Amino acid sequence: MSKTKILIIGRHPEILQTVVRLVNNNPEWECLGVQTDDEAIVAFSAQPFDLVLLGGGIEKQSEEHLCCLFRAHNPNIIIIQHYGGGSGLLTAEIYEGLRGTTLGRPL
Amino acid sequence: MAQTILHKAETRGHANHGWLNSYHSFSFASYYNPERMHFGALRVLNDDTVDAGKGFGTHPHDNMEIISIPLEGDLEHKDSMNNVAVIKNGDIQAMSAGTGIYHSEYNKDREHRVKFLQIWVFPNKKNVEPRYDQITLNTEDRHNKLQQILSPNADDEGVWIHQDAWFHLGQFDKGVSSDYQFKLKGNGVYVFVLNGDIKVNDQLLHNRDGYGIWDTDSFKITAETDAEFLLMEVPMNF
C-alpha cells in the first residue's frame, strides 16, 4: 500500500526537523519538510502530495499565496494547519485532514 | 437552552509509558478519537503522573497557549528563553508558545511522583512573541468560592493568555453551591473534577469526569461531597 505523501512547511528549522521526524516515524506516511515559500512551490510542482501541513511562523500573506497556488495546481489537495510545533497534536491533525475534517469540521 | 457533553473519566485516552502515566481528555499523541478532538478552543487536557526523577526532555512547541497546574509535587521547567522555574503545587504557569519555543519539564524530586494537568488552548493570535507567566495561588481564595486563575487580561486575577478564556478553581465543602456566570457570550465551560463529587445543574460528576456546557449564560455547581474542580471557559468558535 502506498504511503500518504505529506509536504510540511515551517519557518523554524529545528521545529520543522522535529515534525518531519515524527511524521516519517509513522509507516503510513512519508514527508518532505521545507522552510521557504520558494522551496514549497518547487517541491509541490515536482511531485504529487496528498496533504500539506502548515507549521508555525508562516506569514498570513504567504499562507494565502501558497494555498491559492497549491489549490490551482491540485484542487483536491488537503491543507491543514499544524499547531503545537512537533507536538502531540500532529497525528490527530493528519488523520482528521485525511478524513476531510479539521477539529471535527469539514475542511 | 444549554447544550452539554459528558466525558466520563474512564472514557479518556490512556498512555502508560512507565515513567509517565497520562490520561487524555482529547486526542493527543497516539490517542486519536474523532469524537474527542476538542471543546471549543480547549484542545488538550492531559492528566499526567511523572515518576520521581523523570520528565519530558527538551521539546518544541509553537502557536499554543500551554497551561501547567501541578496537583501533587513540583515540576521544573526550563525553556529556550532561558527561563528556569519550579512550578510548585499551588502554582499555575501559562506559556504562549507563539513563534516557537523549546522547553523541558522534569520531576526533580528523587522520591515522590508529580501529578499535574497540562492544558492547551488555541490562541486568538498566531505567531506571537513567546512568553511565560507563573504565579502562586492562595488556596484560601477558592475555599467555598470560585478563584479566577487565568484570564485574557494581564491586569486581572491569575495568569493571562492570548485567548478569551477564563479558568477558575473551586474547593467546596459538602453542600456548598455557587452560580457561574459566563464572561463572554459564545463561550462554553469545560468542568473537570479534581476530587470528590459535584453537580453541575442536575448532572452528577465524579472524580476526573469532564463536562462541557454551552449556549447558556450561567450554571449552578453544588458539591455533593467535599470537592475540588476546575472550570475552563473558552470560545466555542475560534
34-63 of B, contacting A, C-beta below 8 A? 34-35, 37-38, 43-44, 59-63
Quick one: average pLDDT of B78-105? 91
Whole-number pLDDT of residue A106:
61
Out of B136, B168, B184, a domain closes at B136
For the stretch B24-39, pLDDT in tens is 999 999 999 999 999 9
Q: Does B124 touch chain A (CB under 8 A)?
A: no
| Domain layout of chain A by residue ranges | 4-100
State the Cα–Cα distance between residues A49 and A45, nearest whole angstrom.
9
Shared-domain flag, residues B151 and B188: yes
More confident residue, A106 or B142: B142
Q: For A4-100, which CATH superfamily applies?
A: Response regulator (3.40.50.2300)
In a domain, B2, yes or no: no
Whole-number pLDDT of residue B189:
98
* Total domains in the fold of chain B: 2
For residue B184, give the DSSP letter: S
Shared-domain flag, residues B154 and B121: no
For the stretch A8-50, pLDDT in tens is 999 988 889 989 999 999 999 999 999 999 999 999 999 999 9
Alpha-carbon distance B132 to nearest alpha carbon in chain A (angstroms): 15
Closest by CA position to B55, among listed B96, B18, B24: B18
Shared-domain flag, residues B35 and B92: yes
Alpha-carbon distance B38 to nearest alpha carbon in chain A (angstroms): 7
Shared-domain flag, residues B157 and B128: no
Shared-domain flag, residues B160 and B217: yes
Shared-domain flag, residues B56 and B167: no
Cβ–Cβ below 8 Å for B32 and A91: yes
For residue A104, the number of C-alpha atoms closer than 13 Å in the C-beta half-sphere is: 15
More confident residue, B60 or B184: B184
- Across the A:B interface, residue pairs with CB atoms under 8 Å apart total 81
For the stretch B122-143, pLDDT in tens is 999 988 999 999 999 999 999 9
Which of A45-59, B120-134, B207-221 has maximum average pLDDT? B207-221
| From B29, B34, B98, residue closest to A96, measured CB to CB | B34
Tell me how far CA of residue B201 lies from CA of A56, B125, B216, B222, in angstroms.
Answer: 40, 34, 12, 8
8-27 of B, contacting A, C-beta below 8 A? 27
- Domain hosting B93: range is 12-136
**Strand order through the sheet with B159-160:** B3-7, B210-214, B187-195, B227-235, B166-172, B146-151, B159-160
Q: To the nearest whole number, what is the mean pLDDT of chain B?
A: 96
pTM for this model (two decimals): 0.94
